[in-house]
Structures are given as C-alpha cells and as structure tokens.
C-alpha cells in the first residue's frame, strides 16, 4: 500500500508574527530541543486562530519546531487548554472539581447554562459563548470560579455571573 505523506510548511500557514512569538519561547532551549517549546507554541498558534487549532496549524507548529505531527497531536489532545474545534468568542471554563463542587459550582453551572442557552461542552448558536467544564484551576480558596480568556473570576454567585456577562460586548 502506498503511503501518502502530507507536508505542511510552517511559513505557508503560520504568520510571521506567530512564528516570531513561538521563536521567543524556542530560543530558551538548545537548538536541538526546539520541540520543548511545543506547549506555548500551540497556545500562540491557537490564540492567533480565534481560539482553536486546526490540523493544518498543528502540522505547521510541528514543522516549525522540527518535530513529528503525531507528537504535536499527542500534546494538543492531552491538555484541555487546547481546542480542536472552533469555539465561541468568549470561552468560559468552569471548574467543577472538589472545592468548587463543595462551594456550589453546580448552581453556577445551571445558571450559566440557562443564561447562555448551552450545555457544558457546547457553543451558543450565535458563536458568542463556549461553556466548558474544567478540572481544578488552582483557585480553590476562591471557589466557585471560572476562567474566561486569561482571567479568573472567583467567589462566584449567580448575581456576580450576571454582572460579568452584562459587561461583555
């Protein structure tokens, strides 16, 4: 059986700005270990692609770091911070782990689902919100909490959630 190998050239897919940002991480490692920068590289590529990673983008990151595509897929599919499908403009990752569960995250999840009209793991029809369940995000002392973008929102109540959402455009 013939095997077709598809190759993606990083410079054809990743903008120069994206490649430069990735290189700022890659230079922290010896040249023969550029692949050590794969985690931030994928985050950068994702950030420049409306919050998600296409297969072509992952292949381009692999090419740019000199590693196999499969190794990049392994990383991207292992960590929950990477999205392999398009997401909403605002991605809300609500922690449902033990401290948040004991502090009433269930009520917050229900409130978010009702207000946004989506269930966990779904994106609203207008493409504005993605609601996602997260494991402990390390803010247990301020549970319940969610992350939206790079920011944490803590000590949540349904009223506080409404205030946060009301401020979004």
Q: Is 36 an interacting residue with respect to ligand FES (CB under 6 A)?
A: no
- The alpha-carbon radius of gyration of the chain (Å, integer) is 18
Binding positions for ligand FES, 114-143, rule CB under 6 A: 136-140, 143
- Give the shortest CB-40-to-ligand FES separation in angstroms: 22
Contacts (CB under 6 A) with ligand FES, residues 62-121: 95, 97-100
What number of other Cβ atoms are within 10 A of residue 77's Cβ? 12
Taking the C-alpha atoms of residue 137 and residue 18, their distance in angstroms, rounded to an integer, is: 27
Shortest reach from residue 104's CB to ligand FES, in Å: 11
CB of 150 to ligand FES, least distance (A): 16
Give yes or no for a contact between 81 and 44, defined as CB atoms under 8 angstroms apart.
no
The count of chain residues that interact with ligand FES, using the rule CB under 6 A, is 12
Rounded to whole angstroms, the Cα distance separating 130 from 118 reads 8
**Closer to ligand FES at the Cβ: 62 or 143?**
143
Provide the token pair at 97. 């782990």
Instruction: Give the shortest CB-99-to-ligand FES separation in angstroms.
Output: 4
Cβ proximity to ligand FES: between 55 and 160 the closer is 160
Per-position b or e across 140-150, b if 16+ CB within 10 A of its CB: beebbbbbbee
**Binding residues for ligand FES (CB under 6 A):** 95, 97-100, 136-140, 143, 145
């Amino acid at each position: 059986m013939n095997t077709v190998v598809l190759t993606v050239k990083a410079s054809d897919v990743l903008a120069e700005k994206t490649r430069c940002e990735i290189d700022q991480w890659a230079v922290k490692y010896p040249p023969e270990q550029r692949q050590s920068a794969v985690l931030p590289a994928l985050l950068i590529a994702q950030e420049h692609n409306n919050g998600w990673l296409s297969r072509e983008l992952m292949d381009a990151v692999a090419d740019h770091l000199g590693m196999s595509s499969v190794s990049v897929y392994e990383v991207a599919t292992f960590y929950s911070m990477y999205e392999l499908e398009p997401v909403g403009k605002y991605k809300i990752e609500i922690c449902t782990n033990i401290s948040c569960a004991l502090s009433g995250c269930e009520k917050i999840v229900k409130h978010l689902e009702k207000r946004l009209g989506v269930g966990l793991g779904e994106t609203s029809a207008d493409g504005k919100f993605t609601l996602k369940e997260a494991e402990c995000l390390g803010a247990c002392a301020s549970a319940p909490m969610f992350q939206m973008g790079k920011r944490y929102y803590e000590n949540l109540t349904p009223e506080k959630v409404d205030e946060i959402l009301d401020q979004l455009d």
